[in-house]
Copies of this chain bind each other. A is one copy, B any other.
Amino acid sequence: MTLETEFTPKIRGKLNRVRVIDAALQLMDAQGLEAVTMRAVARDLGVEAMSLYNHVHDKEDLMDGVIERVMEGFRRPEPREEWLEAARDAGREWRRLLKAHPSMIQLLAEHSKPMTTTATLECMECALSPMIRAGLTPREAADTFQTFGGYIFGFVLMETRGTFGGPESGDITPESLGALVPDIGRLPNVAAVFPEMCATDPDAQFEFGLDLLLAGLQAKVAGRA
């Protein structure tokens, strides 16, 4: 009689910022960054697109929230005696986090805003702590952080986007490469190395680079004492 209070169900529960952000994150992980649309997020919440704007200022604000949310997933490794092992753990955890949400790098790449939220800074703290303990000056720690961060970001970028053809990039084989590139004869080193690039285990490859960096760092620290 009074208009159907039963019909329009609040079964879908009240919306709020966290629910909106989580829906966006789930969608991003499941279908990729380009699938994250205001309309699609709203649909997953059983709601119209414009309703989201009651909880996020605009799409950029929503994506900021997603970044922050991902960073909250950082699992601080258990403490270590050896600063070198602590640094290794931190590097591995950063990679785990980025790989757990394969669109994160793409999101960061198009977002161009410094990450200064609490969750992010706590991740930084975790990475910086072993370096300071190793006796690096703040300036050296800053440089080292950028170096390790750059390596991890770049590695995961190439890994998830298949930049140079990895194991899962499917159709690129040594033979198909020969067919693809007419003058492969002029590129002997590429011809020799490319098969290995396609065949390698990404985890082992990541450890290789991490070892290289840590070895360099250890040499620098040792040469001082």
Contacts and interface: CB of A to CB of B under 8 A. Distances in A.
A189 to B, nearest CB: 4
B109 A181 contact: no
A213 interface: yes
Interface stretch (A47-55, A57-65, A69-77, A115-123): A115-123
Interface residues of A, number: 76
Secondary structure of the A contact surface, majority rule: helix
Contact of A213 (B143, B180, B182, B212): B212
A163 interface: yes
Given A189-B125, A192-B138, A193-B145, A116 B150 contact: no
A134 to B, nearest CB: 12
Interface string A98-124: 000000011011111111101001101
A88 interface: no
B138 A196 contact: yes
Nearest to A120: B164
B106 A110 contact: yes
Interface stretch (A6-14, A17-25, A35-43, A152-160): A152-160
Given A150-B155, A216-B211, A187 B121 contact: yes
Given A147-B212, A155-B150, A209-B147, A165 B116 contact: yes
Most chain B beta carbons < 10 A, residue from A108, A121, A155, A200: A121
A163 B129 contact: no
Interface of A: 33, 105-106, 108-116, 118, 121-122, 124-125, 128-129, 131-132, 138-139, 141-147, 149-155, 157-158, 161-165, 169, 172, 177, 180-184, 186-190, 192-193, 195-197, 200, 204-205, 208-209, 211-217, 219-220
